[in-house]
Structure 1
Amino acid sequence: MELVRKRNKAAETEAVGAFWRWWSVAGAGLITAAVMTGVYGDLPEMIGAMVMAIHPELRWETGPGARSRHRLCVSGGGDPRLRVLAERWRRAAPPPTETWEFAAARQAQPVVLTGTLEGLGEEVDLGLARIAMDWDDRSALAELTVFHPAFKGMGTNDCRQAGRLLVDWMLGEDDVQRWVGAINVARTDPRDSQPAAVVPEFFQAVATRNPAPRWTMREAKTSSGHRVIVCALRPLRWVDHPLLDLHTAVRISYRRTGSDGLPDDGLPDGEALMGLLHLEKDLESALGPRGTVVASETSNGLRVLHYYSDSEDQNGRDSLDRFARTRNDVEVVHTYDPGWGRVRKFIQAG
């Protein structure tokens, strides 16, 4: 697994470099002329081949920019693995100009909702789309059901593709990751649906109510009766840290309360708790800005700290390994985890 990852990394890095070399020498001029004249020739196939050389599932598109006249976007379609690659592509880009800016995810384009989506078997007038929303305060995520009259004559996969594109254009791909837990499609108009064009206002209010994650604590018990304390930043989204794709579980053994003659609930005694706090500060200093801790679990003589760092930054991983080698009570386990699946149950719960 690790050898495959390294080999792919080298190919991805070379493909990203090749794209931006082409862009600097000829690409920017060619695509600018194509956008201005509407004459693209074989340029879409050329760009598509270079983007697919980074990864065959990446896609690209152009659109109006926020600060520049045009935007070039490479998108992974919401896949965390591909979002990492798109972000690396974006960060390798030259500085934006008056003509071009760059994005690693589809940006919100509400104006598209007045247009037409073609190429899926049926012409889809996006202005007729309606969306029903089911918001869950506990997870801070919404389940969306997209309806369009054209869906009645379309296959299931085409309906899903149209629904996903509509929501991406409505909210922007990253906000879909932040606030949408599921996207469904329906061939009959669901109850309580609204015109798609008014839905972004709801999510703007959601973002205002959830300005930043905060540390929260929960307690439970194991089947053997030991207490479990979980601390986590909530709600926390991997998409706000797209390059932190390496999960490191730092496992720390500690002395339990029962070793003092007190009832043993599996948690650290007073001295051990102070030792854990000092150790965590030392860990934070060792890692520095190269990563972040997002959650911890404490139970039955073991505290597990969940860190994320950049898998391509060997110094971050090595700093945690070096720290563990200096302590008999610490071990670390690294896992490639774009999308933060290993901590989702902690950071999304309300």
Structure 2
Amino acid sequence: MESVRRSSRTETEAVGAFWRWWSVAGAGLITAAVMSGVYGDLPEIIGAMVMAIHPELNWETGPGTRSRHRLCVTGGGDPRLRVLAERWRRAAPASTEAWEFAAAREPQPGMATGTLEGLAEPVDLGRARITVDWDERSALAELTVYHPAFTGMGTNDCRQAGRLLVDWLIGEDDVQRWVGAINVARTDPRDSQPAAVVPEFFHAVAARNSDPRWTMREAKTSSGHRVIVCALRPLRWIDHPLLDLHTAVRISYRRTGNDGLPDDGLPDGEALLGLLHLEKNLDAVLGARGTLVASETSNGLRVLHYYTDSEDQNGRDSFDRFARDRQEVQVAHTGDPGWGRVQKFI
């Protein structure tokens, strides 16, 4: 844990150093560079400061939505890096007429008619076509990107071009939110459509899934005990990018077999009321510091899956104090950007 805290302090110091530089000199230098097209060694300076936060972070500039220009620091879809980029963004000064700040590539649909340079050959993105295979159960799409130029390009260049195109079409965060896989093809797949129309599909998807809802599923263990799983759907870490600490709250309860009924592993009536009371008390203690995303109930044990900000020591301590006062409660904390521990509930 101490090494994690040292790393966190280093990242925090690097973020602070970046914004001090920006306030003193950086904003003026990069504004002049964008206006004149003369960057000198400024890209190397900015790159070094961003890499001091984490060596795998990248940065780019582009047109803004509310300001003339946007400065973006991106982790390229990596949940670990998205947390750092978000901390960088939240430490930023207020947007100005000239500059706004983003922690992920935002949609730039106009790029779909531009040309992507820097690969084995220029890619005219206006000729790209995409197949969308939507899975209603998981609320995730599998995309296949085709371009005639892919026939003469290596696999890595094809994948890079496909990923950048999708990022520009719907934005890096919506790729995380709604896309399960991005494939590339060297022949035009059946049911493909011009890339430029794909954002319309995802606008409709977002409208249908704007409010996560609790769902319940039931299964049985190999021993015949019932398993009740409740989970938010759609379950998306990208809606809470700073909540990177998973806490499993394990609560033992009295099973139905203790009151003369058949033992199906679920709580009896009194135990169920006790569980609901415990959860209400825990939510009151935690407050807005975190969120409950799923629960599993089976064989005398309920497991609540919470996420909080790993930088918020008070959040972690709230769980620990809650468990210390209750013999039937145990907690375990695990760093989990990307919410891998609850992916089985999607």
- In the alignment, the residues of structure 2 paired with residue 151 and residue 3 of structure 1 have an alpha-carbon distance, to the nearest angstrom, of 47
- Matched with 2:134 is 135
Matching residue's letter, 2:110? V
- Matched with 2:229 is 230
- Matched with 2:7 is 8
SS at structure 1 position matched to 2:224: coil
Report 1:259-338 matches (<5 A).
259-338=258-337
SS at structure 1 position matched to 2:40: coil
Note if 1:126 corresponds to 2:106.
no
- In the alignment, the residues of structure 2 paired with residue 170 and residue 328 of structure 1 have an alpha-carbon distance, to the nearest angstrom, of 52
Matching residue's letter, 2:304? L
Query: Which range moved further: 80-89 or 36-45?
Result: 36-45
Gaps of at least 5 residues in structure 1 are none
SS at structure 1 position matched to 2:119: coil
Please list every run of at least 4 consecutive aligned residues from structure 1 whose deviation after the TM superposition is greater than 3 angstroms: none
- Matched with 1:216 is 215
Q: Deviations over 1:130-187 (max 9, x none)?
A: 1011110010000000011111111111111111000000100000001000000111
Matching residue's letter, 1:42? D
Matching residue's letter, 2:65? A
- In the alignment, the residues of structure 1 paired with residue 291 and residue 58 of structure 2 have an alpha-carbon distance, to the nearest angstrom, of 30
Matching residue's letter, 1:37? S
- In the alignment, the residues of structure 2 paired with residue 173 and residue 123 of structure 1 have an alpha-carbon distance, to the nearest angstrom, of 22
Once the two structures are TM-superposed, the CA of residue 114 in structure 1 deviates from its matched residue by 1.2
SS at structure 1 position matched to 2:137: coil
Matching residue's letter, 2:95? P
- Matched with 1:77 is 76
Q: Deviations over 1:276-310 (max 9, x none)?
A: 00000000011111001000000000000000000
Once the two structures are TM-superposed, the CA of residue 3 in structure 1 deviates from its matched residue by 2.8
Matching residue's letter, 2:28? G
SS at structure 1 position matched to 2:311: coil
Matching residue's letter, 1:101? E
Q: Deviations over 1:54-73 (max 9, x none)?
A: 01110000111111111000
- In the alignment, the residues of structure 2 paired with residue 89 and residue 152 of structure 1 have an alpha-carbon distance, to the nearest angstrom, of 39
Once the two structures are TM-superposed, the CA of residue 320 in structure 1 deviates from its matched residue by 0.5
In the superposition, the TM-score normalised over structure 1's length comes to 0.98
- In the alignment, the residues of structure 1 paired with residue 52 and residue 211 of structure 2 have an alpha-carbon distance, to the nearest angstrom, of 36
Query: Which range moved further: 321-330 or 7-16?
Result: 7-16
Note if 1:165 corresponds to 2:164.
yes
SS at structure 1 position matched to 2:177: helix
SS at structure 2 position matched to 1:21: helix
Once the two structures are TM-superposed, the CA of residue 4 in structure 1 deviates from its matched residue by 2.7
- In the alignment, the residues of structure 2 paired with residue 99 and residue 189 of structure 1 have an alpha-carbon distance, to the nearest angstrom, of 42
Note if 1:252 corresponds to 2:251.
yes
Gaps of at least 5 residues in structure 2 are none
Q: Deviations over 1:176-233 (max 9, x none)?
A: 0010000001111111111100111011111111111101111100000000000111
- Matched with 1:92 is 91
- Matched with 1:64 is 63
Once the two structures are TM-superposed, the CA of residue 90 in structure 1 deviates from its matched residue by 0.1
Matching residue's letter, 1:137? E
Note if 1:193 corresponds to 2:188.
no
SS at structure 2 position matched to 1:343: helix
- In the alignment, the residues of structure 2 paired with residue 7 and residue 166 of structure 1 have an alpha-carbon distance, to the nearest angstrom, of 37
In the superposition, the TM-score normalised over structure 2's length comes to 0.99
- In the alignment, the residues of structure 1 paired with residue 306 and residue 17 of structure 2 have an alpha-carbon distance, to the nearest angstrom, of 33
SS at structure 2 position matched to 1:97: coil
- In the alignment, the residues of structure 1 paired with residue 23 and residue 154 of structure 2 have an alpha-carbon distance, to the nearest angstrom, of 42
